């Protein structure tokens, strides 16, 4: 049966970096609410546009996000879910939709999170993730087209972390109390972190 992996962690913990690799490794879908919302930032909903929330570091309202996840889950056999659930009501909604092979928490300290987020750059053509200090592309043409996400400025990063502590830490606690959470130290080279995660998934 295909793997159904939940990857939890603070902004900048490496969820996107590792999810892409896991999707390739296990031939499963990468479901990311963040990317889906960025692709539809100016979509009008009855709650306003996703941009209004994202650029302030707030959560986009549940009905908008649940609809995205619903559609993605119904199309996927196996998946790695990145960026969802982010509050307890989303966690409850998810448990009604599917069960999981593994719920993994990528543990990274706050100083490292801020360093990773403010140095992150994205390739708008491929969605590949880079970092100004330790992971830039070899290809100059790719380097020239890299962009910084609107919400990776220092001020918005601070707000995103506050939103995470308030809303998403209780989700992590929820899976921990249920005995469903495996915690992985995310402060190592991405290859090493990937190895730690696959050991959990394969166990």
> Is 176 among the residues known to form the active site?
no
12 forms part of the interface with ligand AP5 (CB under 6 A): yes
> Is 21 among the residues known to form the active site?
no
- If the CB atoms of residues 3 and 160 are measured against ligand AP5, the closer one turns out to be 160
Please tell me the distance from the alpha carbon of residue 83 to that of residue 104, in angstroms, as a whole number. Answer: 12
Contacts within 8 Å (CB) and 24+ apart, 87-92:
87/59, 87/62, 87/167, 87/168, 87/170, 87/171, 88/170, 88/171, 88/174, 89/62, 90/62, 90/65, 90/66, 90/171, 91/171, 91/174, 91/175
Q: Give min distance, CB of 11 to ligand AP5, in A.
A: 3
Q: Any known ligand binding at 163?
A: no
Annotated active-site residue in 3, 4, 86, 116: 86
Give the nearest residue (CB) to ligand AP5.
Answer: 34
Which one of residues 79, 160, 171, 184 is an interface residue with ligand AP5 (CB under 6 A)?
160
Q: Any known ligand binding at 85?
A: yes
Residues belonging to the active site: 15, 86, 120, 149, 160
């Amino acid at each position: 049966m295909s793997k159904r992996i939940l990857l939890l962690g603070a902004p900048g913990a490496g969820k996107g970096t590792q999810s892409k690799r896991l999707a390739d490794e296990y031939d499963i879908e990468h479901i990311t609410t963040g990317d889906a919302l960025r692709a539809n930032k100016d979509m009008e909903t009855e709650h306003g546009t996703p941009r209004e929330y994202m650029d302030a570091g707030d959560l986009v309202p549940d009905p908008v996000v649940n609809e995205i996840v619903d559609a993605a889950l119904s199309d996927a056999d196996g998946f790695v879910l990145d960026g969802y659930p982010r509050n307890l009501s989303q966690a409850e909604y998810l448990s009604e939709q599917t069960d999981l092979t593994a719920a993994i928490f990528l543990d990274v300290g706050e100083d490292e999170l801020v360093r990773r987020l403010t140095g992150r750059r994205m390739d708008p053509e491929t969605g590949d993730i880079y970092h100004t200090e330790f992971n830039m592309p070899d290809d100059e043409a790719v380097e020239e087209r890299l962009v910084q996400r609107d919400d990776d400025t220092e001020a918005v990063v601070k707000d995103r972390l506050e939103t995470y502590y308030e809303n998403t830490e209780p989700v992590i606690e929820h899976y921990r109390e249920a005995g469903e959470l495996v915690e992985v130290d995310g402060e190592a080279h991405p290859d090493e972190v990937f190895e730690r995660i696959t050991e959990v998934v394969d166990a």
